[in-house]
Amino acid sequence: MLRVAPQFRSPFRKSESSPDPEDLAGDEGGDGESPDDEPELKDDDQGEWLAYELHAWASETRSMLAQLLVADQVVHSWQGTTLLAHESVEAEVDALLEEVEAAANPELDPEAEQVAFEMEGWSGELQALLAERLGQAGVAHEFDSDGDLVCHETDEEQVELVIEDLLARAADEGLEELVGLQANDLLSALFEATDRLRRDVHDSNGVMGSLEHGRRLVGVATPFGFSATSWASLREAAGALADLLESDDGTDEDIIDRAGQLRDTLRHII
């Protein structure tokens, strides 16, 4: 019976309930691996099995690790994003983890031009999330003695985009969270309503749908897979159309124009 260690020194590991050896041997590899690519797992009464939880890693980083494990013929298996390896190969796995981390988190070049971003007002949690996002993007960075973020000047624009996205998402706190296909359903319903409205400003379904779905969209947090800044612009456009429909000052031409613009934006999204 395979045993999983209850405690680990590495921050990437967590406790796992003892898996069935047959489940491990038959588990398909993660990140594009197939069972045929992996060294065969065998039951071992001597020693323990270690679980490395790598869900926080980017899929490209896990893929790199998976390829190195296969190339070095390190016996292992994947359960989703969790890497399982016997303690007898712990040193080999730890060395490959360090190698992959170093490749995924490049260091700053002291000879290159650098820029600093002030982090005043940023919480520790938000800074950690920023560092994680930059690491996933392969952007070399570090925090200086003043707590400011330092990166290469050539990466300045990309870092600004990441910062803008994080701040926009932070502003989403308290808004409705949509999961699964809920966001797509909402956008599809709003698209249908605005499409009707741009054709006929007096279409009752178009008017009511644009109001109902537009007002709801205004209160929805940025869904997974969307840029926070783009979603904020979409919320603003939906809210502006709803305001115009409820106002006595808007002309038919204004409503048709705004409905058409929002409809065209939604057409490129859904």
- pLDDT, one tens digit per residue, over 27-41 is 444 444 444 444 454
- CATH architecture for residues 114-170: 2-Layer Sandwich (3.30)
3-class DSSP state of 77: strand
| Mean pLDDT for the stretch of residues 74-101 | 90
Poorest-pLDDT segment among 45-49, 164-168, 197-201, 237-241: 45-49
In the block, which residue shows the tokens 């390190």? 74
Given a cut of 90, whether residue 13 has pLDDT beyond it is no
Q: Can you tell me the mean pLDDT for 96-108? A: 78
pLDDT category at 256 given cuts 50, 70, 90 is very high
Selected residue with higher pLDDT from 44 and 129? 129
C-alpha span between 88 and 50 (Å, rounded)? 10
pLDDT confidence band for 44 (50 / 70 / 90)? low
- Confidence grade of residue 104 (pLDDT, cut at 50, 70, 90): low
Please count the CA atoms within 13 angstroms of the CA of 177 that sit on its side-chain side: 5
Nearest to 41 by CA among 6, 14, 73: 73
Stretch among 6-10, 68-72, 153-157 having the lowest mean pLDDT: 6-10
Residues whose CB is less than 8 angstroms from the CB of residue 242 and which lie 6 or more positions away in sequence, other chains included: 210, 211, 214, 215, 218
What is the rounded average pLDDT for all residues in the chain?
A: 82
From first CA to last CA, the distance across the chain in angstroms is 49
pLDDT of residue 19: 42
Residue 234, number of CB atoms within 10 A of its CB: 22
SS3 151: strand
Give pLDDT, residue 258: 96
Instruction: Identify the pLDDT of residue 105.
Output: 66
What pTM was estimated for this model as a whole? 0.51
